[in-house]
Amino acid sequence: MARHKHTKVTKAVFPVAGLGTRFLPATKSMPKEMLTLVDRPLIQYAIDEARSAGITDFIFVTARGKSALEDYFDHAPELDAALRRAGKTELLEVLRATDMESGAIAYIRQHRALGLGHAVWCARRLIGDEPFAVILPDDVIAGEPPCLRQMVEAYAETGGNMVAAMEVPPARASAYGVLDIASETGPLVRVKGMVEKPPAGTAPSNLAVIGRYILTPRVLQNLNARKTGAGGEVQLTDAIAQEVNSEGGVWGLRFKGQRYDCGSKAGFLQATVAFALSRDDLRDELSDYLHALLATQRAAQ
């Protein structure tokens, strides 16, 4: 494949305006993106992944009740001073991960939860006329290099639009946006169509789109037309699908890594266990506990 020069991706949109109904009542007064995997909120994993992909401008699409997210990335002078007085240098270091350069994050409100496509559209003035990434923080991906970095590297070759693609069992395809595949080269898939939540038995493939995207400004223009797709929401999938025959086209990347659907209870619990077991300070204690718990349950059956 010829190597093209494509505009560097420096902006990322984080749509965090959803209602998070699957985590009610917790999400009544806290954003879903502040739910914590071990000791870091979901949004922190998303920001770290974006940074490692070279993103410098972070655009949060927020809503009422999400101010904890803004506070999380603000400076905390009193806490800093207290930790410094107590000589807790390790904790000060941990807090550094939440430091953002002044002006690096912009917050835009989505006034009504009209879907992911509408949320991205709300950021249009901040994105301007350049390619941009979209990260859904409730899709947490354990991968090295991190998923968005893999995508940015692949995008440097392909240009166009790129989505993260993952194989799902056919019975689960109707929960996702699904790719219609034109051709495949290694992990790269050339896409000829996309269907959001296809009815059972009609999915064009078993490759589903998950929450990482690199998009061209043309997708914003498509969203501007405000087409309403499946479920009465403004669908991002439809706006991307409109680009399959455009010059840059649409690509899927079969990324390397494990994705956890932290927007669902089961996925969130799996991620919690997996992330805890990957930590040196927790592995032994948790794994002993899990073994003992399972043994007790089996004995009781």
Binding residues for ligand UTP, per CB under 6 A?
Answer: 15-22, 32, 61, 110, 113-116, 118-119, 136-138, 263
> What's the CA angle centered on 16, arms 76 and 112, to 5 degrees?
120
Strands (DSSP E) found in the chain: 11-15, 36-37, 40-41, 57-62, 105-109, 132-135, 139-142, 161-167, 177-185, 188-196, 207-215, 250-254, 258-261
**Taking CB positions, which residue lies at the least distance from ligand UTP?**
18
Rounded to the nearest whole angstrom, what is the least distance from the CB of residue 27 to ligand UTP in the complex? 7
C-alpha 62/C-alpha 115 separation (Å) is 12
Question: Which of 104, 113 has the CB closer to ligand UTP?
Answer: 113
Rounded to the nearest whole angstrom, what is the least distance from the CB of residue 264 to ligand UTP in the complex? 8
CA dihedral of 179, 225, 221, 216, whole degrees rounded to 10: -10
The closest alpha carbon to 47, from 39, 56, 38, belongs to 56
Q: Which two tokens mark 55?
A: 């993103």
Rounded to the nearest whole angstrom, what is the least distance from the CB of residue 238 to ligand UTP in the complex? 15
Question: Which of 18, 229 has the CB closer to ligand UTP?
Answer: 18
Rounded to the nearest whole angstrom, what is the least distance from the CB of residue 135 to ligand UTP in the complex? 9
The closest alpha carbon to 120, from 231, 10, 198, 233, belongs to 233
Q: What is the DSSP string of 33-73?
A: GG-EETTEEHHHHHHHHHHHTT--EEEEEE-TT-HHHHHHT
- Pair type for strands 258-261 and 161-167: unpaired
Question: Which of 246, 264 has the CB closer to ligand UTP?
Answer: 264
Question: Which of 35, 253 has the CB closer to ligand UTP?
Answer: 35
Q: Which two tokens mark 282?
A: 């927790």
Give residue for tokens 């718990």. Answer: 293
Question: Which of 201, 232 has the CB closer to ligand UTP?
Answer: 232
Rounded to the nearest whole angstrom, what is the least distance from the CB of residue 224 to ligand UTP in the complex? 17
Rounded to the nearest whole angstrom, what is the least distance from the CB of residue 73 to ligand UTP in the complex? 16
Question: Which of 177, 252 has the CB closer to ligand UTP?
Answer: 177
Question: Which of 11, 32 has the CB closer to ligand UTP?
Answer: 32
Question: Which of 91, 113 has the CB closer to ligand UTP?
Answer: 113
User: Cβ of 124: how many Cβ atoms within 10 Å?
Assistant: 17
Rounded to the nearest whole angstrom, what is the least distance from the CB of residue 110 to ligand UTP in the complex? 5
Burial (CB count <10 Å: 0-12, 13-18, 19+), residue 46: buried
Rounded to the nearest whole angstrom, what is the least distance from the CB of residue 103 to ligand UTP in the complex? 22
